[in-house]
Amino acid sequence: MKIFAIGMNYAEHNKAMNETLLQQEEPPVIFTKADSSLISNHKPFFIPDDMGRIDYEGEVVVRICRLGKTIPERFAHRYYDAVTMGIDFTARDMQRHCKQKGLPWDVSKGFDGSAAIGEWIPKEKFLDVQRLRFHLDINGQTVQDGCTADMIFTIDSIISYISRFFTLKTGDLLFTGTPTGMGPVAINDHLEGWLEERKVLDFRCK
C-alpha cells in the first residue's frame, strides 16, 4: 500500500502559510507517507515528544480501487471508490528547518502515526465528490471548514498526474490537501472529522 498526499491545494491555506500560490498550469506538489504512518479504527495518535510542534491538517482522503498506470483524467473517477476524512500530521518545526536548508522533508510528514483516517463512505453516497463539504472539530470546536470545490487541483487530475510516475494499486490512499485553519495538537485533544453531515473520524491524542 502506498500513501500519497498533495500539498498547497487550497489557496487560503497557502496564503496562511505564506507560500507562493500555485497555478493550475503548474504540477501539483506530491509527497508520500510510509505505510507505518497509517492509523485507523479510532486508535489514538501518540504525539512524539522529540519532534517539536505537531500540526493537524484535516483532509479528504480517497481510496484507490483498481490497478492503473498513465490514467487519462477523464477516466480517473473509475479508479477510486470511497472517501473519508483524514489528518495529515506534520512536524512543523522539522519541516520548516528542512525547507530553509533545501532538504527533503519526508520525516516531518511520514513519521509513524502521521496519517490518521476515518470510516470509508462509498463515493456514490455523495452527489458530487468534487463539491463535498467537510470540517474538522477539536474538543467540540470547528477548526477547519472546507469544500473540495475549492481545490486548485481536482481529485481526478491528481490521480491522473500521480499515475504518470507511480502505478496505482488497489488499497492505495490519496490525501487531497488541507484548507486553511491548521494548527498544533496537544495531549488529550479530541479530533472529529465530518463529510457533509456524516461523522467519519473520531479519535484522541495521547
Cα R_g (the chain), whole angstroms: 16
Contact by Cβ (8 Å): 29, 171: no
Residues in the chain: 206
Contacts of 50 (CB under 8 A, 6+ apart): none
Q: Tell me: the pLDDT tens digits for 84-93?
A: 999 999 999 9
Specify the pTM: 0.92
User: How many angstroms separate the CA atoms of 42 and 39, rounded?
Assistant: 8
Q: DSSP 3-state helix, strand, coil percentages of the chain (rounded to 5)?
A: 25, 35, 40
Q: Tell me: the pLDDT tens digits for 150-201?
A: 999 999 999 999 999 999 999 999 999 999 999 999 999 999 999 999 999 9
